[in-house]
Amino acid sequence: MGDDARGAAKKTHRGQSGQSRGPVKGRGASRPTSARPAAARRAPATPTIDVHDPEGVRLQKLLAAAGLGSRRACEALIASGRVEVDGQVVMELGVRVDPAHAVVLVDGMRVQLDSTHVTIALNKPKGVVSTMHDEQGRPSVAQYVADRTERLFHVGRLDADTEGLLLLTSDGELAHHLSHPSSGVPKTYLAEVQGRITPGIAQRLQKGVELEDGPAKADKVTIVQALSHLSLVELTLHEGRNRIVRRMLEEVGHPVTKLVRTRIGPIRLGDLKQGRTRVLSQVEIGSLMSQAGM
């Protein structure tokens, strides 16, 4: 074989960009490259944090107690890398954590592990004030949780004329976060109003109306029913100013005749009967905390 032929055998095929695409098949092999191993090319890993607390409780036991499934199912969650503790993915089954301080996420959603607190959903009837004690002697929400020994805080308020979902909790930090205007937790209301609500009115409520204490707008407005003399409209908003839903609807010419709060963040009123309560699961509380940015 001549020198030209031997040189051709060593040439590699190049595309239009001029970059090498490897030797031409069937014409020999080019000299092996000294490429760095794949592991060496990866970005440095984030330093791991030791989240194990020898005095704590096994993670799978806490997850099972929080209602995420059987202990075996929770072990599978951990082994599959779906559980984080204090920002660190945990895949070892022997890890113990302090349920009072550890922040645990499953699939990115927080799980409430601290069972020392209780959070209760109440379907508040009309005519009941949203306080644990009323100096004027009016009916208060305290009568619906009289059997509870914990000190309970109401999460936000519903005016006496408004019915529906009200949360009560023994967790003062949770109550503070959910009641704060910056929490960003949406609340949904079903309003019965006078007159026919039109799509134009719904759009106006979403764009915003001017009230005496500043502008207000709904995140979402759904017309459930529109008759000539009354309408049902569902509004979702983040604001929690006093009687804001009633004032917004009054501003657009449709006074409220009945108002029910049906949802706070991920917690729904559902079929909970008026005057009845139910204890939220730790999974529900965790979802609520996640939405409140806790």
pTM for this one? 0.73
Residue 159 annotated among the catalytic residues of the structure: yes
Residue 51 reports pLDDT greater than 90: no
Residue 229 pLDDT greater than 50, yes or no: yes
| Segment 7-23 mean pLDDT | 44
Domains, the chain, ordered by start: 57-111 (3.10.290.10), 116-183+272-280 (3.30.70.580), 186-264 (3.30.2350.10)
pLDDT over 90 (residue 66): no
Check: CB of residue 77 under 8 Å from CB of residue 106.
yes
In the three-class reduction of DSSP (H, G, I as helix; E, B as strand; rest coil), residue 222 is classed as strand
- Closest-CA residue to 164 (of 270, 289, 255, 292): 270
What's residue 48's pLDDT? 57
DSSP letter string over 254-290? --EEEEEEEEETTEE-TTPPTT-EEEPPHHHHHHHHH
> Which DSSP string corresponds to 1-63?
--HHHHHHHH-EEE-TT--EEEEPTTS--PPPP-PPPHHHHSPPPPPP-----TTSEEHHHHH
Residue 29 pLDDT exceeds 50: no
CA angle 286, 291, 294 (to 5 degrees): 70
Catalytic residue among 4, 134, 159, 219: 159
Give residue 15's pLDDT: 44
Nearest alpha-carbon partner for 243 in 157, 165, 133, 154: 157
